[in-house]
Structure 1
Amino acid sequence: MSLSDRAIARIRELIQAGELVPGSKLPPEAELAAQLGLSRNLMREAVKALAVARVLEIRRGDGTYVTSLQPDLLLGGLVGAVELLQGDTGTLLELMEVRRLFEPVAAALAATRIGDTGLAEVKRHLDAMREARDDVELLNHHDAAFHRAVVAATGNDTLVSLLDGISSQTLQARIWRGLVDGDAAGRTLAEHEAIYLALVKQDGPLAQAAALLHVSNTEGWLRDHLRVNGTMPEVQPLKAAARP
């Protein structure tokens, strides 16, 4: 472990021990450096690194504070990190596997917790998918929003943040499927309708089964086509993402 890493670890230990709580202000740099037995340069480097990681917030002219440490803040960088992964087929398939592990369980949990507002949001995107069935990009925009609404209904911010990062990278594959498979839109709509109906019934096992079938079908299609074609063509970013 480098000296900078040790400095970061020391500050993290203070937070984990509850000596620095969310929202609290750090002691002055010189004081904290002396307390931890670090040089001021090392302390400065550690603070900057933890600020990048959203653990600390540097407020110019005011000092340095511990952030809220909420999952959506700390894991928000996961989306950007996943986007930086090399887009080879092996990595894409690994992400699809992770999605298959998480999403069905999330759907089951959502079915036991979702309320009228959550159901309305899921239905809104399902209806938008029906209307956009001939527009691959817009369809997939609402497809992604549908899944996010389902996961959000769990009330688990950590799960939402994790799946946001994964879905952002697998969306390109789903757009590709829509472009090359003429039957994809119909099957996708039917699978999403099954998930929605399970949520309406608040049937966790049924929601899990419907989500597993949907994600597994997408993953299976991708594996088959990568086996034949060897690679996935580049797809332009969603224009639909900018639409209301």
Structure 2
Amino acid sequence: MTQPRRGASENQRALQEAIKELIVRRGLAPGSLLPTETELMAELSVSRHPLREAIKALQALGIVDIRHGLGTYVGTPSFSPLEAGLTFHSHLSLRGDLRDIGDLVQIREVLETGLVRQVLAMVDTADLDTLESAVATMEREAAEGRYSPEADWLFHKTLYAPLRNELISDLLRVFWSVFDKVNAELPRTVETPQVAAAAHRNILNALRDGDAQVLTAAVADHFNDIRERISRVPRR
């Protein structure tokens, strides 16, 4: 009995998987040069056009990196596609039911409150001076009615730096960056910068005091103002 032919999209997915399997099977590390186009065509039994389509699709995912005139390399880890997608859906969410923004805030809260106890266990390696400087900057800006996103991100980046986990750092940066892009569109009050500065001050004080329960609560409370501002957005 003749098997039905697979559709073009299914063939493309299979080809992309075959390229990923080849990378894994050969133990190619990020930055390694892939076989030439001719070699891939022969090994994967595929023609030039579908191979190029598959390579471009994998490039969009950050799995490979096409360097024109040099070849195709195994890509380095990147959350750029995730960040772009989350930013797009967050902007759409502002004009809809706000569910995506609420989900994003929930993920940030779960991630940060879940990690902060590990930070406390490594507090001896924490850069308390940089944390203090970031909070002080937020407080100075707040006194003038301004919010300092640079100091805010510096605080969060420095807070979790003792974990020495680049994946966590990249995820935190993505979630923070996406929210920062929609932050200006959320309702705010005159007190918003002061509230943000005070929340970060509470986190730093709890970290210095070494109280895990208070520290976790302070990180969770940090998201209260965000949730309040989201609740004020008119539903459309």
* CA shift for structure 1 position 201: 4.2
Aligned to 1:108: 117
Report the Cα distance in structure 2 between the residues aligned to 1:112 and 1:182, rounded to whole angstroms. Answer: 36
State the number of aligned residues.
223
Report the Cα distance in structure 2 between the residues aligned to 1:14 and 1:118, rounded to whole angstroms. Answer: 43
Is 1:25 matched up with 2:25? no
What is the aligned counterpart of 2:204 among 180, 192, 196?
A: 196
* CA shift for structure 1 position 25: 1.5
Q: Which moved more, 1:36-45 or 1:132-141?
A: 132-141
Contact 1:140 1:174 in 2 (8 A): no
Aligned to 1:119: 128
Is 1:225 matched up with 2:227? no
> Over alpha carbons, which structure has the higher Rg?
2
Aligned to 1:11: 19
Report the Cα distance in structure 2 between the residues aligned to 1:195 and 1:49, rounded to whole angstroms. Answer: 42
Report the Cα distance in structure 2 between the residues aligned to 1:135 and 1:212, rounded to whole angstroms. Answer: 26
TM-score with structure 1 length normalisation? Answer: 0.77
Gaps of 5+ in 1: 232-244
* CA shift for structure 1 position 221: 1.3
Gaps of 5+ in 2: 1-8
Is 1:49 matched up with 2:43? no
Is 1:36 matched up with 2:44? yes
Counting only pairs closer than 5 Å after superposition, residues 177-192 of structure 1 correspond to structure 2 as: 180-192=188-200
Aligned to 1:207: 215
* CA shift for structure 1 position 172: 5.6
* CA shift for structure 1 position 198: 2.8
Is 1:98 matched up with 2:107? yes
* CA shift for structure 1 position 9: 0.9
Assess, with a 3 A threshold, how the Cα gap between structure 1 residues 203 and 33 changes in structure 2: closer, same or farther.
Answer: farther
Match of 2:142, SS state, is: coil
Aligned to 1:80: 84
Aligned to 1:241: none
* CA shift for structure 1 position 114: 4.7
Match of 2:32, SS state, is: coil
Match of 1:34, SS state, is: helix
TM-score with structure 2 length normalisation? Answer: 0.79
Q: Deviations over 1:32-59 (max 9, x none)?
A: 1221222222222222222232222222
